[in-house]
């Protein structure tokens, strides 16, 4: 076949292809399916090597000719489909999709449209995926990489440039099947060769369906013209059956671009770029394809990440400017792909205008506020220019701190390394210290605009790890947490992000609880949230998205088993597939050598530190005791010598055997990097349910991925406990215990020995306590507090705020319980309201009785808290009236009006917060008794 394609004339090839198509003798050949019902056929079709375009045209012509009439019907139906999409008529759209599927099977062109509709702003917000059935053939039984690449490129949570560059990279590096590679290269970068010529691309589309072949045949003339091969256009025209050509031209003559943009969601901030990413699904319209080609000609290599760029032709799309002012919008913009004027266009076009300007001599010397505005109105600048271009555009200006911050931020985005990160931190700290009184939120407010591009960038840059390393601004860890809370509050107010507000509260409460505890909290474990979340999104995001189509099945699955040991069931049952993905997440969380748990236990605990802390630092104390007793009680000195030797050996052995992630080599490792073990089943079950619910609730994966991270910390608690138990077992094993044996003849000496043993045991216990604390979760990332601790913190705060309040508190608690997660501050809030209420209405020095009872079921811990106080006799009547009214009246605006009764607010919490299940109140003679019922997931 290869020889036929390369050595025959087009005429001979046409005859041969016709023979292959018609002759019963050629039945053994695998032939493309013109109107396939599924995507399976593609994998059985080879992609032949490069051959003259004329030969490929002959092959397609022979195939299309007999199907011309049917193709015309298919084209008309696509026309109807397009009209209904543009008219935003879901019922008609659904009907058109169904009709097409029924009569003509599947095609990439129609499949892309269905995928595109999954990612319009409307479906992104509602999570509805009404066209899932038309995407399904591309997802099962195997996922088609061509559709995955398109879906990822339009996914609003993904970076278009990263997706484009990744898939192009894989295609060029032969990591994809040649047929997929050819189509993917054409989909993203139609003007670049990248190892697949036009004939192979036509062949690749022809393998999919007749419609896709015809669509590409209609795009070919523009490509040939740009390649200086206009002479071949006629042959292309001849390869398309006449009636197909006519129907195509009539059906796809014009498109209402504004209607298309509206259908895709023009309200988005980066809508011109979002629209651009969607356009492979709409390239049957000449003006759409022409627009794509003009963009590709102007900045295609830059979009592909090819630096130095092979050509500087951005000015062919939009004329360059000479000053920054010319590029800046002066009023409302029209972010349509039709609008190219820099002062009125969208961010994507303005970015191309900036690049055109940089290619043609730059935009002069923009001042720092102009630069800030320019970056606010463009996007991905550091990904679209080379380091040399960026340095030429933005030379160092040490006397302009805002400019320097923006410059270093761009350089860091261009090359994410430690040096660039450090330079950015230095510039940012200087700016915040010099201009904004050390308050990073003031900088956020300063750079914030309705676009919010620069402020959002800053907000996302300032992760906990990044803020921690602003060592000039934050000299203590508390200040880092304060800054983080303030930024979250800003975000919450700016974006109406309730989760951010909740986390800010949680951080502040944590700070308060630590002060109440007053202890040193040292953990040596950390998992960089940013890197971990990036890993989940990159490695498992696509699989999670696929499972989102089966989420109802997962949630309805009555099975509660959590075993992953059966590989067949794990590969087939959707619920177990999700569980397997979560298991992979936890394995990564534990085992990543750079940012995972294993990295921290290796570098911060196992190598030397455990031995140093437990043995080397303790050794002098033991040696002093040995010296003290070696003459007067030599048997005791020998006992200590022997003990010290055994202890050292055991500590070293523990480091070698146990302070590891469990593996074949380390079977005693205390960290078990899977959720498939009995101790983790409760948390794993909750994790599975909550994450499935979260995927169902929102197609945006960010929330689900954040939940995965939080649950990984809860799972880790099981491993951390195992590590702490191992440490405790070692301590118990080496508690100095002379038993009944006497080491001295004299009672006074024996007493001294006993005292020495007590002192050594006590010192050792303190050392072990420190080691135990190394194996705890970082409280910022995974906060927790015991109920008793929360009571004490509440009493402390109410006392501070109500100076005369000096009750006699009695806390009756049969069993304490740890509440874990960012939402336990709701419990704090509820308790605060009741105790504060007692401070307002009760006798200031009277009894305050707090009692709790605890019940647990399979999923939840149910906590009932009763707060009883004696009303102040002088104001009892008034207090009763106030309490009664608050308990029965309208809740109204109590949740937002801080001047209103706390009890109303608490009733509001009962309504709105899942964890607060009920509130009741009663009187008992002169006492008022409040009872709240809380419900927390078991962990």
Q: How far is the CB of 370 from another protein (least distance, A)?
A: 27
Range in contact with another protein (rule: CB under 8 A) among 45-53, 596-604, 791-799, 913-921: 596-604
Range in contact with another protein (rule: CB under 8 A) among 190-198, 229-237, 285-293, 597-605: 597-605
Q: How far is the CB of 423 from another protein (least distance, A)?
A: 7
Structure tokens at 433: 């210290």
Indicate the DSSP class of residue 43: G
281, 321, 525, 870: which one binds another protein (CB under 8 A): 525
Range in contact with another protein (rule: CB under 8 A) among 240-248, 666-674, 777-785, 811-819: 777-785
CB atoms within 10 A of CB 495: 12
User: Is residue 521 involved in binding another protein (CB under 8 A)?
Assistant: yes
Angle between the 286-304 and 210-226 helix axes, to the nearest 10 degrees? 70
Structure tokens at 802: 């109500």
User: Is residue 609 involved in binding another protein (CB under 8 A)?
Assistant: yes
Range in contact with another protein (rule: CB under 8 A) among 246-254, 300-308, 607-615, 835-843: 607-615
Measure CA 638 to chain center: 59
User: Is residue 611 involved in binding another protein (CB under 8 A)?
Assistant: yes
User: Is residue 593 involved in binding another protein (CB under 8 A)?
Assistant: yes
Nearer to another protein by Cβ, of 777 and 905: the residue is 777
User: Is residue 465 involved in binding another protein (CB under 8 A)?
Assistant: yes
Give residues with Cβ within 8 angstroms of 322, minimum separation 6.
357, 361, 363, 364
Nearer to another protein by Cβ, of 328 and 440: the residue is 440
67, 469, 534, 926: which one binds another protein (CB under 8 A): 469
76, 156, 577, 613: which one binds another protein (CB under 8 A): 613
Nearer to another protein by Cβ, of 172 and 507: the residue is 507
Nearer to another protein by Cβ, of 464 and 915: the residue is 464
- Which residue from 114, 137, 131, 133 is spatially nearest to 33, judged by alpha carbons? 137
CB atoms within 10 A of CB 135: 20
Supply φ then ψ for residue 861, to 5 degrees: -105, 125
89, 193, 472, 645: which one binds another protein (CB under 8 A): 472
Q: How far is the CB of 791 from another protein (least distance, A)?
A: 18
Indicate the DSSP class of residue 871: B
How many of the chain's residues bind another protein (CB under 8 A)? Answer: 52
Residues 408-447 that bind another protein (CB under 8 A): 417-419, 422-423, 426
Give the C-alpha separation, 236 to 370, whole Å. Answer: 50
Pairing relation of β-strands 860-870 and 818-820? unpaired
Give the C-alpha separation, 557 to 832, whole Å. Answer: 40
User: Is residue 794 involved in binding another protein (CB under 8 A)?
Assistant: no
Q: How far is the CB of 421 from another protein (least distance, A)?
A: 8
Long-range contacts, 328-333 (Cβ 8 Å, 24+): 328/370, 328/373, 328/374, 328/377, 329/377
Identify whether the C-beta of residue 841 lies closer than 8 Å to the C-beta of residue 803.
no
User: Is residue 477 involved in binding another protein (CB under 8 A)?
Assistant: yes
Task: Please tell me whether residue 413 adopts helix, strand or coil conformation.
Answer: helix
Give the C-alpha separation, 842 to 838, whole Å. Answer: 5
CB atoms within 10 A of CB 106: 26
User: Is residue 464 involved in binding another protein (CB under 8 A)?
Assistant: yes
CB atoms within 10 A of CB 793: 21
25, 30, 231, 520: which one binds another protein (CB under 8 A): 520
Give the C-alpha separation, 709 to 568, whole Å. Answer: 27
User: Is residue 623 involved in binding another protein (CB under 8 A)?
Assistant: no
User: Is residue 486 involved in binding another protein (CB under 8 A)?
Assistant: no
User: Is residue 243 involved in binding another protein (CB under 8 A)?
Assistant: no
Q: How far is the CB of 730 from another protein (least distance, A)?
A: 18
User: Is residue 604 involved in binding another protein (CB under 8 A)?
Assistant: yes
- Which residue from 408, 405, 414, 417 is spatially nearest to 386, judged by alpha carbons? 414
Nearer to another protein by Cβ, of 70 and 611: the residue is 611
Identify whether the C-beta of residue 800 lies closer than 8 Å to the C-beta of residue 836.
no
Q: How far is CA 470 from CA 425, 461, 477, 483, 619, in A?
A: 6, 12, 11, 11, 38
Give the C-alpha separation, 229 to 612, whole Å. Answer: 75
User: Is residue 523 involved in binding another protein (CB under 8 A)?
Assistant: yes
User: Is residue 568 involved in binding another protein (CB under 8 A)?
Assistant: no
Binding interface with another protein (CB under 8 A): 417-419, 422-423, 426, 464-465, 468-469, 471-472, 474-478, 480-481, 510-511, 514-526, 593-594, 599-600, 602-604, 607-609, 611-613, 616-617, 778-780
């Amino acid at each position: 076949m290869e020889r036929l394609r390369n050595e025959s004339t087009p005429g001979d090839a046409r005859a041969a292809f016709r023979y292959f198509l018609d002759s019963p003798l050629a039945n053994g050949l695998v032939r493309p399916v013109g109107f396939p019902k599924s995507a399976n056929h593609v994998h059985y079709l080879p992609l032949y090597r490069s051959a003259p375009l004329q030969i490929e045209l002959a092959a397609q012509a022979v195939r299309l000719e007999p199907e011309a009439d049917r193709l015309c019907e298919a084209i008309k139906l696509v026309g109807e489909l397009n009209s209904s999409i543009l008219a935003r008529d879901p019922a008609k759209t659904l009907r058109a999709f169904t009709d097409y599927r029924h009569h003509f099977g599947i095609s990439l062109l129609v499949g892309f449209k269905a995928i595109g509709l999954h990612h319009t702003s409307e479906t992104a917000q509602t999570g509805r995926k009404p066209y899932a059935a038309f995407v399904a053939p591309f997802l099962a039984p195997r996922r088609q990489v061509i559709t995955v690449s398109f879906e990822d490129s339009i996914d609003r949570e993904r970076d278009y440039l990263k997706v484009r560059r990744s898939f192009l990279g894989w295609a060029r590096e032969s990591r994809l099947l040649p047929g997929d590679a050819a189509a993917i290269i054409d989909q993203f970068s139609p003007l670049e060769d990248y190892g697949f010529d036009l004939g192979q691309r036509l062949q690749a589309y022809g393998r999919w369906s007749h419609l896709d072949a015809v669509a590409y045949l209609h795009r070919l003339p523009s490509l040939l013209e740009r390649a200086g091969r206009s002479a071949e256009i006629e042959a292309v025209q001849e390869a398309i059956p006449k009636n197909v050509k006519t129907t195509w031209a009539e059906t796809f003559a014009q498109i209402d671009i504004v209607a298309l943009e509206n259908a895709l969601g023009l309200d988005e901030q980066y809508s011109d770029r979002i629209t651009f990413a969607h356009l492979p699904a709409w390239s049957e319209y000449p003006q759409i394809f022409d627009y794509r080609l003009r963009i590709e000609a102007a900045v295609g290599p830059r979009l592909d990440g090819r630096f130095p760029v092979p050509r500087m032709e951005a000015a062919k799309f939009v004329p360059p400017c000479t000053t920054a002012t010319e590029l800046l919008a002066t009023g409302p913009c029209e972010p349509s792909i039709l609008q190219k004027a820099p002062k009125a266009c969208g961010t994507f076009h303005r970015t191309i205008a900036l690049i055109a300007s940089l290619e043609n001599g730059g935009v002069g010397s923009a001042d720092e506020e102009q630069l800030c505005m320019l970056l606010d109105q463009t996007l991905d600048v550091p990904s679209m220019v080379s380091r040399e271009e960026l340095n030429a555009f933005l030379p160092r200006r040490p006397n302009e701190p805002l400019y320097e911050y923006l410059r270093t931020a761009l350089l860091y985005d261009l090359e994410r390394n430690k040096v660039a990160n450090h330079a950015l931190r230095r510039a940012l700290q200087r700016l915040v210290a010099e201009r904004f009184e050390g308050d990073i939120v003031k900088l956020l407010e300063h750079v914030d605009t309705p676009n919010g591009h620069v402020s959002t960038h800053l907000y996302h840059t300032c992760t906990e790890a990044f803020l921690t390393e602003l060592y000039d601004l934050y000299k203590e860890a508390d200040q880092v947490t304060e800054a983080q809370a303030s930024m979250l509050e800003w975000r919450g107010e700016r974006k109406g992000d309730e989760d951010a507000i909740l986390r800010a509260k949680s951080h502040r409460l944590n700070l308060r609880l630590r002060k109440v505890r007053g202890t040193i909290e040292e953990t040596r474990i950390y998992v960089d949230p940013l890197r971990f979340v990036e890993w989940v999104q990159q490695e498992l995001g696509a699989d999670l998205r696929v499972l989102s189509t089966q989420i109802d099945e997962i949630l309805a699955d009555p099975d509660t088993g959590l075993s992953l040991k059966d590989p067949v069931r794990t590969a087939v049952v959707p619920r177990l597939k999700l569980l397997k993905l979560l298991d992979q997440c936890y394995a990564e969380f534990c085992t990543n050598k750079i940012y995972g748990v294993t990295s921290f236990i290796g570098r911060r605990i196992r190598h030397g530190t455990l031995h140093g802390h437990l043995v080397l630092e303790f050794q002098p104390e033991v040696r002093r005791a040995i010296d003290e007793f070696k003459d007067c009680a030599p048997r005791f000195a020998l006992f200590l010598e022997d003990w010290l030797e055994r202890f050292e050996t055991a500590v070293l052995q523990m480091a070698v055997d146990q302070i590891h992630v469990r593996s074949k080599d380390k079977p005693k490792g205390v960290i078990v990097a899977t959720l498939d073990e009995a101790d983790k089943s409760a948390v794993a079950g909750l994790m599975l349910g909550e994450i499935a619910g979260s995927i169902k609730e929102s197609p945006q994966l960010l929330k689900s991925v954040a939940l995965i991270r939080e649950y990984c910390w809860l799972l880790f608690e099981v491993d951390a406990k195992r590590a702490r138990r191992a440490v405790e077992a070692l301590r118990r094993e080496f508690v100095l215990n002379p038993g009944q044996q006497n080491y001295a003849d004299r009672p006074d000496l024996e007493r001294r020995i006993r005292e020495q043993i007590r002192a050594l045991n006590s010192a050792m216990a303190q050392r072990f306590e420190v080691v135990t604390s190394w194996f705890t979760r970082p409280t910022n990332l995974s906060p927790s507090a015991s109920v008793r601790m929360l009571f004490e913190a509440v009493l402390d705060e109410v006392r501070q705020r109500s100076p005369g309040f000096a009750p006699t508190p009695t806390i009756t608690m049969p069993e304490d319980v740890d509440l874990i997660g960012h939402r336990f501050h709701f419990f704090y809030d509820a308790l605060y309201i009741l105790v504060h209420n007692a401070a307002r209405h009760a006798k200031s020095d009277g009894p305050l009785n707090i009692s709790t009872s605890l019940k647990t079921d399979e999923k939840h811990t149910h906590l009932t808290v009763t707060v009883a106080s004696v009303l102040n006799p002088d104001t009892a009547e008034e207090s009763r009236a106030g309490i009664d009214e608050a308990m029965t009246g309208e809740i109204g605006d109590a949740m937002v009006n801080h001047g209103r009764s706390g009890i109303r607010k608490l009733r509001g919490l009962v309504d709105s917060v899942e964890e607060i299940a009920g509130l009741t109140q009663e009187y008992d003679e002169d006492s008022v008794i409040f009872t709240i019922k809380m419900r927390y997931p078991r962990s």
